[in-house]
Structure formats: C-alpha cells, structure tokens
Amino acid sequence: MFTWQLGAVPTLAALAFGYLLGSIPFGLILTRMAGLGDVRKIGSGNIGATNVLRTGNRKLAAATLLLDALKGTAATAIASRWGLDAGLAAGFAAFLGHLFPVWLGFKGGKGVATYVGLLLGLVPLMLAVFAVVWIGLAYLTRYSSLSALVATAASPVVLWLLGHEKVAVLFVLLTLITWWKHSANIGRLLNGTESRIGSKG
C-alpha cells in the first residue's frame, strides 16, 4: 500500500539524527542543574516529567514535559524538509531515543510527551485532538495514565480518518510501544491501585 521514498543512506541519516535528538535526557539534566540530584533515584526511576514532578518542583516538571515534546517536534520538522518519509524515520527514532537512550543504559522515559511532540511536528491539528481526549478523560477519571493510553489509542484512528494514512501506520506502532511501556500502569488500573491526579499516594 505504501512505498518508501528514501534511499538507504538518507534513511539511516534520518534515523541517527532523530535518535540522537530524542535521547537527550532533559529530565535528568534539568534536575541535576537545579541541584536536585539524580531523578532516577526517586519515585519510578523514570526520567520523564511525571517523575520529575515527584521532586516537588512543578516548573522543572513542566520544562521537562515541554522539552521532551519539542525534541520530537524538532526531529520531525527538520527531517521533513527532505520529505515525509524522512520526517517519519526521524520521528520514530526520536521516540525510541527517548525510551532507550544509549547514554543511560537504554533506560529512558515512557514516551507520551515525545509522542505528542511528534504529532505536533507531523500533523499539528492532532495536538488539539490529543489534548481534548486527554483533558476530558483526566477530568472525568483523574487518571493521568488512563487518559494518555486512550489518547494514544485514538490518535492513529483520527489520523487515518483525516487522510494521513502513512502517519497513522507509524502511530499504530508508537501506540503499541507506549502501551507496553505503561504495562505496570495498566496492571494498577485493572486492580484499582493506580494513583489519581492530585493524589499523594
């Protein structure tokens, strides 16, 4: 159904560029610069914004969320100058770089912020769609993880309906990986022990 327009060398270049950009561990960098130590030694041990929030510094968590998203946006936006396929390759690699940064023993974040950043870089309208689904469910359930899971599941469907079939295929894969990375959250949701937004537990 789909044909790949890039040659082997440009594809590898896009993948390398995206991975290196995506693997920048902003959560770890920002917390260390703020004198808060190694964020991997608290909470879930994750380098993402949710775990940075556990330091008690909301501004750092917000900055981490923004930067983790923008590295995905930058990877796709820059690489897309050489065509959609280059943008898709760089975006996919940036997502993997965030999840599995070589600098940190391949132990990174869960990918939601970078996922959103990729949506913004490839189909900007999807940022609003994702936000509406996430905010709506978060308001109704107060489960951040559930909101993210449903929003990521809805994204490929909406992309397909909007006519972005090639992008939708990529996001099916990204959604599956995101759900896999949230397997522990899914387990807690099923047994009723997942923490709600605003909960101190």
Q: Nearest to residue 80, comparing CAs of 71, 91, 69, 70? A: 91
Q: What is the mean pLDDT of each run of 10 residues along the chain (201 residues)?
A: 75 94 92 84 78 82 93 95 94 96 90 95 95 94 92 97 96 97 93 77 46
- Please tell me the distance from the alpha carbon of residue 185 to that of residue 170, in angstroms, as a whole number: 23
Res 1: pLDDT: 58
Res 201: pLDDT: 46
User: How confident is the prediction for the chain on average, in pLDDT?
Assistant: 90
Write the single-letter amino acid at 12. L
- Please tell me the distance from the alpha carbon of residue 28 to that of residue 156, in angstroms, as a whole number: 30
Contact yes or no for 102/96 (Cβ under 8 A): no
**Rg of the chain on CA atoms, in Å:** 17
Q: Two tokens at 105?
A: 């023993």
- Percent of the chain predicted with pLDDT > 90: 66
163-186, pLDDT tens digit by residue? 999 999 999 999 999 999 999 999
37-51, pLDDT tens digit by residue? 888 888 777 788 878
Res 13: pLDDT: 93
Q: Two tokens at 81?
A: 């100058």
